[in-house]
């Protein structure tokens, strides 16, 4: 139950990155700004990786107890 927000971020990030490849553009909107599509993909990928890392870190902490 604790990991729902992190899993939601991972799901949204995967969706956003996949959609950016299916509908290729040079720039895209992120937080109201035009941004290079590769920077956009990098931001969403980093969000997914950090969320996954936090889940793994939390589970390892629970296993140590």
45 pLDDT higher than 80: yes
**Dmax (CA) of the chain:** 49
Q: What is the C-alpha separation between 41 and 37, in angstroms, rounded? A: 6
- What average pLDDT does the structure give for the chain? 90
Question: With contact defined as beta carbons under 8 Å apart, do 28 and 11 qualify?
Answer: no
CA distances from residue 47 to 7, 28, 51 in whole angstroms, order as listed: 11, 17, 6
State the burial class of residue 47 (Cβ atoms within 10 Å of its Cβ: 0-12, 13-18, 19+). middle
The gap between the terminal CA atoms of the chain, to the nearest Å, is 18
Q: Give the tens place of pLDDT for each residue, 14-40.
A: 999 999 999 888 888 888 889 999 999
């Amino acid at each position: 139950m604790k990991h729902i927000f992190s899993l939601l971020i991972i799901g949204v990030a995967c969706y956003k990155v996949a959609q950016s490849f299916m509908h290729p553009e040079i720039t895209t909107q992120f937080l109201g700004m035009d941004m290079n599509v590769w920077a956009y993909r990098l931001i969403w990928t980093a969000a997914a990786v950090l969320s996954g890392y936090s889940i793994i870190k939390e589970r390892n902490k629970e296993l140590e107890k």
